Amino acid sequence: MIAGTLTSRALTQAYLDRIAAVDDSGPQLNAVLDLNPAALKEAEARDAERKTGQSRGPLHGIPVLIKDNIDVGGMINSAGSLAIADNRPKADAYLIRRLRESGVVILGRTNLSEWANFRSNNSTSGWSSRGGQTKNPHVLDRNPCGSSAGSAVAAAASLAPVAVGTETDGSIICPASVNGVVGLKPTVGLVSRRGIIPISATQDTAGPIGRTVADVAALLGGMAGVDDRDPAGRSAAGKVLPDYTKFLDRNALNGQRIGVFRRTAGMPADVDAAIKTAVAAMQKAGATIVDVQMPTYGQWNGAEFDVMLYEFKDGLNNYLAASNSAQKSLAAVMAFNRANAARVMPFFGQDIFEQAQAKGPLTDAAYVKAKATAAQLAGTDGLLAAIARDKLSAIITPSTGPAWVIDAKRGDRGGSIGGYGPAAVAGTPSINIPIGESGRLPFGLTFMGPPFSEPQLIGMAYALEQLTNARRPPRFLPTLER
């Protein structure tokens, strides 16, 4: 586009054609939920600016897909739920405003695990009542993980250059891993959450997903920004950088001390072998590798879940009360679901909703205690203690095992969970990169660091990405031989 040999309009049209050929037809990935009817006009406007010598930066004219739980003015924002399919926000979320200022073209909305996988303990990742089931592009009968299923699948299948996802605990890292792409979960507060359908004010964040670390770094620069109206936003003051691509350094691993958290329970041998290969590559590149222990690992699970139940009820009630949806509360959504159970709950119920509805206000002593306990066990005594104890730049861990077979009746029962949880609960950054395959199914490795260490994580992840070159394009296989 800088050279004048490609226009944003031509690029946007090419992705619209790709979506029609691969998402709507062919393998029918079902990753894109809605297209932006103004996408081509937005692209033409960016082209017109470029012709007059105006460029808003590296994202100028780049088409981006947005997860369907983030407000985009005039488009449906439903969290995948038929209950609030009438919700058309008038204004953009803060992060969408930032992206528009950076010159992106909003291409459309991606499907997700309904309510960001916070409706039932028996849910199937990548399924929503409004969008149906999203498929893993590598092997179509395999699960794409969630909740940012559509965003990760779209990036993997080249339905857009980059996409925006959200995470509370694993919802960027897991789908990025099993779809073989890069996903970055920022420090909570670096990217505004205002205008995102919430789960947890403590842990929620939006983040970039793309095929390479460079693409993700570029998108992060457009998304990040201090929002004083976000409760966590002020913590990012002085920490937001305009350009994260300047940290893409092939030599970034040299001289670093990196911990390895070998969370491999239930992982296939292929994952362990790939981690060993990655460790050897990092050592050859000049990194010192230290095995780390985290004695508090997983001890925060009960407290974390209680925090999410309390904060989901409070946050959703506040969001819906100000929304354009007819449903103005969690209780109203639950009543809609019961009245439309055949369409909304054909496979699993709303047991998490019921638990959340039973919780009291955020002044409850039980909530205050749970929040402090989770932060202590995951952060102060967990990830941050391990980093400080061994003077580490970052900790790496397997992200997940390979994708499991989609099973709507049994839900998510076959996945292997990696060790990314401490960063999610502590609110610190993490980034997944593809690291290998098991039976043609990709999986990734996650770097975790202290708060606002995105520049360092991007550098190290980029360096390892260049050394391993592990990402493979999807093959759209119907199934694997058993």
Q: Which secondary-structure segment (H or E) carries 313?
A: helix 301-321
Q: Of the listed 8, 67, 129, 177, which one is catalytic?
A: 67
Question: Whole-number mean pLDDT of the chain?
Answer: 97
User: pLDDT for 102-120, tens place per residue?
Assistant: 999 999 999 999 999 999 9
How far is Cα 408 from Cα 75, in angstroms, rounded to an integer? 28
How far is Cα 234 from Cα 188, in angstroms, rounded to an integer? 11
Answer for the pair 30, 24: CB distance below 8 angstroms, yes or no.
Answer: no
pLDDT at 415: 72
User: pLDDT for 68-81, tens place per residue?
Assistant: 999 999 999 999 99
Answer for the pair 383, 293: CB distance below 8 angstroms, yes or no.
Answer: no
How far is Cα 226 from Cα 237, in angstroms, rounded to an integer? 6
Phi and psi dihedrals of 397, rounded to 5? -155, 150
- Which stretches of 53-168 are DSSP H helices? 94-101, 114-117, 149-156
Of the candidates 165, 157, 161, the one whose C-alpha atom is nearest the C-alpha of residue 8 is 161
Task: Extract the runs of DSSP E, i.e. beta strands, from 75-214.
Answer: 105-110, 127-128, 132-133, 162-167, 182-185, 205-210
Average pLDDT on 116-131 reads 98
Q: Of the listed 78, 120, 148, 171, which one is catalytic?
A: 171
Does residue 284 carry a pLDDT above 90? yes
Q: Are strands 288-291 and 257-260 parallel, antiparallel or unpaired?
A: parallel
pLDDT at 264: 58
User: pLDDT for 329-382, tens place per residue?
Assistant: 999 999 999 999 999 999 999 999 999 999 999 999 999 999 999 999 999 999
Structural domains of the chain sorted by starting position, each given as residue range(s) with its CATH number in brackets? 8-294+379-468 (3.90.1300.10)
Dihedral (CA of 158, 159, 163, 165) sign? negative
Q: Is 67 a catalytic site residue? A: yes
Percentage of the chain with pLDDT > 90? 97
Q: Of the listed 147, 323, 393, 416, which one is catalytic?
A: 147
Q: Is 329 a catalytic site residue? A: no
Q: Is 171 a catalytic site residue? A: yes
